Amino acid sequence: TSKSNVLRAAMGVAQHHDAVSGTSKQHVANDYAKHKLKSGGRHCKDVISSVITEGSSNLTFCDYMNITLCDFTQNSNRFTAVVYNPLARAVSKYIRIPVDCTPSYIFVVIELVTGARLTTQVRRNRGNANCELVFLAKLPALGYNSFSIEKYKSSATNKRLFTPKGKVVN
């Protein structure tokens, strides 16, 4: 509660003062955005991570995926994506993850619950990462789905089956 209150308080200040819309002096807007809201967001990420993993792991959040920037995914050959759906109904959403790719590598995405390999598309772009990995995530109501993502040399991929490691939790 104390951690999520940091963002609650920051949002209260921001809404009361019409923050970050040009209706304050610039140094005040900077304080709203850089210190109060960003700090509140950081604390809430800790809350979400500890709730979803019961404190056993630290999940990484990437705030700049809209400009195709995520150090974690760009510098990992194998990682897990956890996608949470806050809606009270199931949805299917395309997920776009910044990755660095070369022509000799491909990405394999496995839905961990079913073990199904998903159709993916790697598109080149002019963002910070040179590629974006796109796939369709089927998400349950008020719940999450998780995906194992691995970068393979394209020649080796055809010869072996991908087996996810770790405990699969439905």
Partner 1 sequence: SDDITISNEFYSVNFNRNSGLMDSIVNIESGIKIPVHQDMLWYNGSMGNNASKQQSGAYIFRPNSSTPFHCSNDGKVKLSGSNPLVQEVYQKFSDWAYQVVRLYKGIKHIEVEWTVGPIPVKDQWGKEVISRYETNIDSNGYFYTDANGREVLERKKNYRPTWKLNQTEPVAGNYYPVNSRIYIRDAHVQLTVLTDRSQGGSSLSSGALELMVHRRLLGEDSKGVAEPLNETGQFGDGLITRGKHWLLLDTVTSSAKQHRLLGEEAFMSPLVMFGGATPPALV
Binding site for partner 1 (CB under 8 A): 21-26, 29, 48-49, 51-54, 56-57, 59-62, 65-67, 70, 72-73, 76, 78-87, 91-95, 97, 112, 119-121, 123, 134-137, 139, 144, 146, 148, 164-169
Helix (H) or strand (E) holding 49: helix 38-52
Minimum distance from CB of 104 to partner 1 (Å)?
A: 20
CA end-to-end span of the chain, whole Å?
27
Residue 54: count of CB within 10 angstroms of its CB = 7
In terms of CB distance, is 66 or 102 closer to partner 1? 66
In terms of CB distance, is 13 or 65 closer to partner 1? 65
Minimum distance from CB of 125 to partner 1 (Å)?
A: 9
Minimum distance from CB of 51 to partner 1 (Å)?
A: 8
Residue 133: count of CB within 10 angstroms of its CB = 22
DSSP 108-170: EEEETTTTEEPPEEEEE-SSSSSEEEEEEEEE-TTEEEEEEEEEEEHHHHTTS-----S----
In terms of CB distance, is 6 or 70 closer to partner 1? 70
In terms of CB distance, is 11 or 83 closer to partner 1? 83
Minimum distance from CB of 102 to partner 1 (Å)?
A: 18
